[in-house]
Amino acid sequence: MRRLRVIAGLVATFGLVAASFLPGRGAPGAFAAVRDGTDFYQPPSNLPKKAPGTIIRTAPLTAPSGAKAWKVLYHSRAVDGRDIAVSGVVVAPSGTAPKGGRPVVTWAHGTTGLADACAPSKSADAATGLPFVKQLVDAGYVVAATDYEGLGTPGVHPYLVGESEGRNVLDAARAARALTATGGNDQVLVAGHSQGGQSALFAGELAKSYAPELDVLGVVAVAPAADVEHILPLAGSINGGAGYLVMGVEGFDAAYPDADAESVLTPDALAKANVASAACAGAVMEAYQGVSGPAVLATDPLTIPSLQTLLHQNSAGNRPAGAPLLIVQGSADTTIPKVLTDAFVVKACAAGDTVDERVYDGATHRTVIDAARDDVVAWLKDRVAGKPAPTTCS
């Protein structure tokens, strides 16, 4: 089963997350330790099992103007059901919440890497650098942003494992509601970019079964790594992504301990595999620079029947979306090409989901977030206002 991690790596090899670093990430933020000197990200050794979203600890962060912000450590669930600690950020408008509370927007970030140092909440701009945060706070919304399982906290991040990501995203919204100072209510909107686009889609699909108390009003997926099942056949032939391939191997092994990476990766790839879990994405890419993606594979993972099951499980669109979808895509995106996003939209429309696909001419994988900002915020406001969701499905 360890071979299954290759799936995520191959998807990343195609580049679906190669350019999804959030601006300003990397510099450790304040409050990495709590007052007793304990590492903020290290949960107590005797941590009792609590409901997902229950707060373990918080620490204040620098907030955008007109807002207050916290770093949070909260309970979530691994794919095997274990109670785990996950870190993240919560931002809320200053002042008293209106009667009925504030909607919560839960954000899912793109790839930063697998190492603890790659957790976005460790950045100095952890709260102020979140996409759309100023516009959302000004609109009166609470913003939550998970780091994902294993980023900052113990264990390896289950990279591109949709079930893990989706749970973390929903539990971040629960954690935001649990902070009474936010005034967050049960209305939840989900948004994410690249890897986070996959995370957002899974959060929408899982919400009714995993977090039924949340009223998910809409899901925004920007340049999403949506359909691993169809990206994989392309990924194996792409050069320049060996580092992401190996990073994917490490990530999937975190979720599926029985996976057999040795039967898929070459000896040379295995010899350097530890860098994938010890460094952030840029350093991983440098470590494998000049090595082609196919060169790290000893075996074609598509010839292993068990991989097909995991590919299907970690592809979005195999269940109802759970809420209206806004799918955002740049026409000049070479990381997640438009043809792949179009294919997911066709799949979702055929399944009966309400899908609004918007393509931004000339926008790349990075710049599409800025290009779509006003439209995304307006779309989210319309969902809160109860307006009928538009659709581009024929």
What predicted TM-score, i.e. pTM, was given to this entire model?
0.89
Report pLDDT for 332. Answer: 96
Pick the CATH number of 2-229+312-384 from 3.40.50.1820, 1.10.600.10, 3.90.330.10, 3.40.50.2300: 3.40.50.1820
Q: List the chain domain ranges.
A: 2-229+312-384
Q: Yes or no: say if 332 and 382 are a contact pair by the CB < 8 Å rule.
A: no
Report pLDDT for 294. Answer: 72
Report pLDDT for 261. Answer: 54
Report pLDDT for 6. Answer: 36
CA distances for 133 relative to 67, 89, 93, 175, 188, angstroms: 10, 11, 10, 17, 15
Closest CA to 142 of 188, 99, 109, 108: 188
Give the span between the Cα atoms of 257 and 237, in whole angstroms.
27
* pLDDT average per 10 residues of sequence, the chain (394 residues): 36 37 35 57 92 97 96 97 97 95 98 94 96 97 98 93 96 97 98 97 98 98 88 57 76 78 75 84 84 76 73 91 98 91 96 98 97 98 98 95
Radius of gyration of the chain (CA): 19
The residue type of 325 is L
3 state SS for 67-87: EEEEEEEEEEECCCCCEEEEE
Give the span between the Cα atoms of 68 and 59, in whole angstroms.
11
CA distances for 364 relative to 191, 192, 212, 223, 311, angstroms: 18, 16, 36, 9, 26
The residue type of 68 is K
Report pLDDT for 241. Answer: 67
Report pLDDT for 262. Answer: 61
